[in-house]
Structure 1
Amino acid sequence: MHIKDTDTLLFIGDSITDAGRDRTDPASLGNGYVQEIARTLGGRPDAGAGPTVINRGISGHRVYDLEPRWTTDVVEHRPDVVTVKIGINDTWRRYDQQLLSPVDEFESCLDGLLTRVERETSARLVVVTPFLLPVAPEQEEWFEDLTPRTEAVLRAARAHDALLVRADLVLPRAAGDKEATELARDGVHPSPLGHRLIADAWLAEVDAAS
């Protein structure tokens, strides 16, 4: 699809989407990939003011935290494109708080949320995969949980014909030429460069999609 100035783009997820946005200001986009996408789309030579962009990421959220706010934070905005980026906290909490998120339950919850977008809106779905760039030895074991969770995200996205932004491929590929900390200081939260790479991957997949 070619994003139009009349479109409403809604992004929802965890801290990677939140990116420090001012939650007292509904128009705040944070300082991450959502803001980068908005700037790029608003700065195109053929663009007017650019599409309406809404950021509803909340730091720390797991997939289950999206469910109770789905109506007010997604459906009621009547978006044209809904982008979901979730999953890393469902893994992280297993290792720092022993809070489990079984992959089958995670997938079922995500599938239900994507189903609601299809049933209750006319929006095109976009799913951004979770990623990890280990910067500490103990983070390597996270892949035991994250790899099957990423596969679950891919299955849910494909079941709903969502466009896929493979952050799990883009950022590790970039880490082949750079230190992981240059892309994500703690292995999870992107640097400005990391956010730009996610934004570019989103634009390449979504704005160029038929």
Structure 2
Amino acid sequence: MDNRRDFLKKSLLTLGAAGLGTSLASAIDFSTGAKAKLSINKGDVILFQGDSITDAGRNKQNLKPNDGNAFGNGYAFMAASTLLNKYADKDIKVYNRGISGNRVPDLINRWQEDALDIKPNILSIMIGVNDFWRTMDSGAKNTPAEYKAQYKQLLDSTKSALPNVKLIIIEPFGVKNVKHVTDAWFPEFPKYQNVAKEIAQEYGAIFLPYQQIFDQGLKRNSDGGYWTTDGVHTTMAGANLMAEAWLNLIK
């Protein structure tokens, strides 16, 4: 019964992200990265990678594609569900390998098994908020320049192993004045966001500007707690906002 309730809850959450090409696209400037949208082809393998925002409570013992239990309840689940419905004739496989707390060095350490061995045609990476956040709450030492060097190492190995992979580089975001995200995050955090943008440009990736997307969301509901629980992790509304924006990258 609990599994059935969980399934029904996720199914209802996904309905709001079910439309490709929604009005959000007209409100967001995607020109900060590659302008071309992605096509979904027969047999494509799509991989969502990142930290807790992508993880979203997934069952890490379940490594299957196209399985709700392996996706958690965040934006990756909502986007993947819509893709599997919209492209039912394409026989695609969609994976989630986000892990809570990860930084770029964590991705590097597990990249072979959790990315390269999967051989994705489309690879979506959302990483960076912890690379900055740990400098605030744990005294970690990691400058924007170091973050960029580590990110480049990750993508160099990716392009070497998967030269034709289509990359989506996602901007880390923070909604101000919600629990953890205070004025103390600024102006340092935007430097990490700029790195993600620069990385996308340098590697010919599509850049997904989630900071701008959440800023637009705040114009519709100015309560940051409506979109996130702590300035970073999303509510139902925030996860749906993210999924909608991700799906707008697809033709």
What is the TM-score of this pair, normalised by structure 2? 0.78
- Cα gap change, 1:4 to 1:175, in 2 (>3 Å): same
**1:180 pairs with 224, 232, 239, which one?**
224
Is the Cα contact below 8 Å between 1:5 and 1:47 reproduced in 2?
no
**Match of residue 235 from structure 2:** 191
Shift of 1:100: 2.2
- Cα gap change, 1:200 to 1:139, in 2 (>3 Å): same
Aligned ranges 1:47-86 → 2 under 5 Å: 47-48=88-89, 51-86=92-127
Aligned ranges 1:53-132 → 2 under 5 Å: 53-121=94-162, 122-132=164-174
Is the Cα contact below 8 Å between 2:171 and 2:193 reproduced in 1?
yes
**1:158 pairs with 201, 207, 223, which one?**
201
Structure 1: gaps spanning 5 or more residues: none
Residue 144, structure 1, aligned to residue 144, structure 2: no
Structure 2: gaps spanning 5 or more residues: 1-37, 65-69
SS for the counterpart of 2:77 is helix
Please tell me the residue identity of whatever aligns with 1:144: P
SS for the counterpart of 1:67 is helix
CA RMSD of aligned residues (A): 1.5
Shift of 1:182: 0.8
- More moved, 47-56 vs 17-26: 47-56
| Greater C-alpha Rg | 2
**Match of residue 15 from structure 1:** 52
Over 6 Å off, 4+ runs = none
1:151-201 Cα deviation digits (max 9, x unpaired): 011111110000111111101210122111111010010112111111111
What is the TM-score of this pair, normalised by structure 1? 0.93
- Cα gap change, 1:192 to 1:137, in 2 (>3 Å): closer
Instruction: Return the alpha-carbon distance in structure 2 between the equivalents of residues 139 and 170 of structure 1.
Output: 19
Identity of aligned residues (%): 31
Shift of 1:104: 0.6
Please tell me the residue identity of whatever aligns with 2:203: H
Is the Cα contact below 8 Å between 1:5 and 1:52 reproduced in 2?
no
Instruction: Return the alpha-carbon distance in structure 1 between the equivalents of residues 185 and 209 of structure 2.
Output: 18
Is the Cα contact below 8 Å between 2:181 and 2:230 reproduced in 1?
no
Is the Cα contact below 8 Å between 2:168 and 2:208 reproduced in 1?
yes
